[in-house]
Amino acid sequence: MEEAALSVQNLRAYYVTGHFGMQREVRAVDDVSLSVRKNEIYGIAGESSCGKSTFIKTVAAAIRPPLRVLGGSIKYSFLDRDLYDLDERKLADIRWNHLSFIPQGSMNVLNPVRRIRESFQDFAFPHMGLGRSEFFDVVNRHLERLQLSPSILSAFPHELSGGMRQRVAIALATVCRPEFIIADEPTTALDVVVQKDVLALILETQREIGSSMIFVTHDLTVHANISNRLGIMYAGRLIEEGPTREIFHDPLHPYSRHLVASLPRIGDLTPKIALTGAPPNLAQPPSGCRFHPRCPLATDLCRQASPELTTLSSGRRVACYAVASAPATRPMTNDRMTNDKFKSF
């Protein structure tokens, strides 16, 4: 197997807060292990407060109290050590240059009172080791590749539309040709028409510069269109992982199955069934499997013990006793909801 671009082992990141002596611990990321291959877009899906944002904050080394990393390791291929063994100066060196970030709101990286040119200068210039005119040559060529006119460099962020700003944020994140890009819901705030173009741009840029990427969004249809592999998180845990296509055709975990089955699409009027209950409070997660209170397949075992993320013979990974116990006998079917037990959803 080739070397992974990012390998995360048993990562645990909790929010530990104290208000006037009341201690609270929110287990936002609890024992997550995954690896991102080179040149791959690894998608992370999940609903709000499933831990996906915390996860990427952690792998981007952007943690601040009350968030704390309590254990685990994060290794990038371009680093000889664990991410958390680096000091602040070394971290600043790798940011943008090796590891860059596309945020949900482009305003998070673009300073509203500075022209786009200055933002490029602030972020990318120190990393490129080029003279000023050479640097702007590179920037101009990069912008052209992304079909952005170099004239936007003299604009202020507020003069651009939302979609345009997001393209600038992408240009900014990729101008140093980083090995690794972390994208946090980069298209969520955009309108559908713009969203499609921005996704195409991300895909194209990623292929062109050959970086690896973690792409986080709650929107499964976006994942279907961009991620090579998909990890689904629920209540701070990674519960299923596999090639995106396979997850859409044959989701294994009951939760993923529900997510895929409940997606409305044009041309499909079959009744969509809703899941009962709600995601747990991560300050007091349920015992055993965190999905068991909502799961139609839950057994006593699920209530007591937490299933490990196990690798199946197909190479996919899933954290569910019901699936892992009978991997060979489970009928492989393309039809998404034929399993009798799921009629009860």
Residues that bind other proteins (CB under 8 A): 17, 19-22, 24, 40, 47-48, 162, 191-193, 195-196, 199, 203, 218, 220-222, 224-226, 228, 243-245, 248-249, 255, 258-259, 262-269, 271-275, 278-279, 294
The distance of closest approach from Cβ of residue 116 to other proteins in the complex, given in angstroms and rounded to an integer, is 22
Pair 181, 211: CB distance under 8 Å:
yes
Q: Residue 72 or residue 254: which is nearer to other proteins going by CB?
A: 254
Q: Residue 268 or residue 335: which is nearer to other proteins going by CB?
A: 268
The distance of closest approach from Cβ of residue 96 to other proteins in the complex, given in angstroms and rounded to an integer, is 26
Helix (H) or strand (E) run with residue 142 in it: helix 132-145
The distance of closest approach from Cβ of residue 129 to other proteins in the complex, given in angstroms and rounded to an integer, is 33
Q: Give backbone dihedrals phi and psi of 277, rounded to 5 degrees, phi first.
A: 70, -170
Rg, C-alpha atoms of the chain? 21
Q: Residue 225 or residue 299: which is nearer to other proteins going by CB?
A: 225
The distance of closest approach from Cβ of residue 203 to other proteins in the complex, given in angstroms and rounded to an integer, is 8
Torsion of CA 102, 107, 108, 113, to 10 degrees: 130
Q: Residue 22 or residue 113: which is nearer to other proteins going by CB?
A: 22
Q: Residue 123 or residue 248: which is nearer to other proteins going by CB?
A: 248
Task: Give Cα separations from 141 to 47, 137, 299, 306 (angstroms).
Answer: 38, 6, 59, 51
> What is the per-residue DSSP string for 169-189?
HHHHHHTT--SEEEEESTTTT
Q: Residue 118 or residue 219: which is nearer to other proteins going by CB?
A: 219
As a whole number of angstroms, the longest Cα–Cα distance in the chain is 67
39 vs 235: CA distance, rounded Å: 28
The distance of closest approach from Cβ of residue 221 to other proteins in the complex, given in angstroms and rounded to an integer, is 4
The distance of closest approach from Cβ of residue 281 to other proteins in the complex, given in angstroms and rounded to an integer, is 9
List, in sequence order, every residue forming a beta bridge with 45; answer none if it has no partner.
Answer: 232
